[in-house]
Structure formats: structure tokens, C-alpha cells
Amino acid sequence: MVVVEEVPESIANGSFAVHELLGSGCFGKVHRATDEEGREVAIKFEDMLEGFLIREVEVLRKVQHAGPAQGFARLLYTGVEQGLRCLVMDRLGSSLLQHFKLAEGRFTVTTMVLIAEQVLRCLEHLHSAGFVHRDIKPENFLTGTGDRLHHISLTDFGLAVPYCDGKVHLPRAEASAFCGSFRYASTGTHQLKTQSRRDDLEAVGYMLVYLATGSLPWAKVAGKNWEARNRRVLEMKETISADELTADLPDSFAEYIEAVRELEFTDRPDYAALVQFFQEEKLNLASNGPIEDHGVEWAAGAPFPSGPAPIERRQNIWQPDDSLTARHRSLRRVKEKTKRTLHKLGARCLPHVGSARVAACAGA
């Protein structure tokens, strides 16, 4: 890693004024900045010898090729300034890990099902662009600010890689190195194999359990060296059942983990079905009224001057390996699941399934 020592006072011909350091990592540094109208943004800087921001820009451009995407910071500018590669994006808020610590090391089930839905939609969108993240952890999911305080965005794509060549899924192969976090990595990652969509989704399962319970059985496993520790963590992840891992949580968590563990390397995940596990749990929790998207713990008591910004829910996000037949089949499945969900809500009217937001007229 090449250390970034000094950054310019402004970039893009004065369009963005650079302020204090927000954080640093293997990619370089992140600074707070403001645009010409005084709006806050974030700027990432890295040395030209590094290449993390090259991949990050590539991913953000593909994800946002049709415009801003829910769950991703907008890419505002990228270039080279005073010998440093830089990337300007929306300024986001705190990470899920920061909120988790403020919640005394455990989120409520209500907060968790709301987190799960947004996290899975972020990954569905990323995977539709042909990339896997490979570094799933609470630090890489940032919440919004202001009226978007309850929004969750996936960040840090420096380790993302393509999982397909056009419409053809790449085969499983030996990985050049371990990539991810010991706490959340999939079993395939511990086996030093290349990663696919299922590996991101398995890592999400472990992350959700950790945020809901405050611990994972392998979190404090040690070893005399890296190989020994990796082997012990792998053995624990391979042998523990989904029911054991989620013993103190609602069934939806075990059902999710079982579903993603059953996926083969090249399988196309059914994201709608995975989200449905947590949507059904949300319905079970709604005995005292519907649970709103802004019902997460860190947004409790927030002023929301203009009201909580709605979360966009795209119904059909095609994956690179979807055939036309599969797309039609997926649309039918979405329609059927929407009908079932609305029926559970006691809906009296069924809106058009293709709309960005599903609105139901619920009766007593």
C-alpha cells in the first residue's frame, strides 16, 4: 500500500473544496469536501500506483448507467489531481457498524428485517452489473443523512470483480489470495476459491446474524498461524447448521442461510424469494400496525424536515445470465409473490406490479 501524504486544497478547477480527513484505508484517504454551492460531498484519494479507485469507478458507472441507483452513492467526478487519483461522490452518513455500537452491540429484529431488505436489494443491483463485492461487512454499508437517514448504501468496490463474461458465468477456480473478512466470509472464500453471487449472499447471512445477536461462534477463534486459523473457521462454518447459528432469531434468518448455502457457484439467485423471507417476518412483527421503512433504531426521533424519503423498490432487475424466458418467468413470480403479500395485508385493491412502489389499500 502506498501512503497518500498530502491532498490538494481543491480539485476539478475549483469545483470541489477539500476539507478535513474523514477516514483512511488500503485505498488511500477520504476527505469531506463541498461543491460550489456549499453542498457536502466526499472525495477519495489514492496514489497512482494503486488501482482500487479504477475498479470503484468502473463499478459505479455500470451500476448507474441509467441514472442514480437506490443504495449507491452518486459518482460526481473522477480524475487525476496533483498526481493523485480521485473520486467525488455523495457524502453519506455513519456505517451499520457505527450504529450497531451505539445500539449497545445488538439491533432489534424489527431493525434487522429492514436492514436485510435494503442490503439484499443493493446486492441484487450490484450483481446485475456483473460484479461481486467480495468484502461484505457492516463497515461497507453506510446510511444516509437528513431525510434519507434510514437509507442504506453499499460502498467500497475496490475489491469487486466480474463474475461473468458477457452472459456466461465464469467457472470456479483457485483464488490468488483470501479476499474478505474472516468473520463474514463464505466457506468458498475460506477454501481459497474464486467468488460468485452466492458468496456475497452467504457473507450477508453471517453479517445479519452478527448484527442481530452481537456475536458469531467463530469470531474469537485463534490459530498458531493464518492457515491454522482459516482452517478452524472454515470447519466451524461448514459444520454448524443454520438452525444452530440462528437459535435465538426468528425462522426467517435460518431459512435465508439455508437457501444461500444450497446455491451452486454459478446459480442465479432468486433475490425476490430471499427478500421475501424477511418481508414475511416484517408482517409477523406488524401486530400493532405496519412497520415503516424509517423504523430502524438509528432513525428513531429523527426530525425528517421534509418527511422520510421513500425507498425505491425496483421489481425486475435482470441478471447478466437471464434469458428472455427466465425474465418472463421472473416477472410471473414477482406478480404471484406480490399478490400473496397483499393478501396477507388484507388488501382490497391490487396495483400494477411494475410500478416503482407498491401501494395497497388495506381494509380491516
Which residues are part of the catalytic machinery? 135
280 DSSP β-pair partners: none
Contact by Cβ (8 Å): 358, 307: no
Instruction: Tell me the backbone φ, ψ of residue 170, rounded to 5 degrees.
Output: -70, 145
If one counts every other C-beta atom within 10 angstroms of the C-beta of residue 104, the result is: 8
Instruction: Tell me the backbone φ, ψ of residue 250, rounded to 5 degrees.
Output: -60, 160
Question: Which three-class secondary structure state does DSSP give residue 114?
Answer: helix
The DSSP letter of residue 147 is: G
Q: How far is CA 213 from CA 104, 194, 208, 294, 315, in A?
A: 11, 29, 9, 21, 31
CA dihedral 184, 186, 190, 193 (to 10 degrees): -140
Question: What amino acid occupies position 287?
Answer: S
Cα 61 versus chain centre, distance = 17
24 DSSP β-pair partners: 29
Cα separation, 56 vs 213, in Å, equals: 32
The DSSP line for 38-66 is S-EEEEEEEETT--HHHHHHHHHHHHTTT
Q: How far is CA 356 from CA 152, 241, 303, 317, in A?
A: 18, 37, 26, 12
Handedness of CA 275, 310, 74, 141 (dihedral sign): negative
Closest CA to 154 of 185, 118, 188: 118
30 DSSP β-pair partners: 23, 44
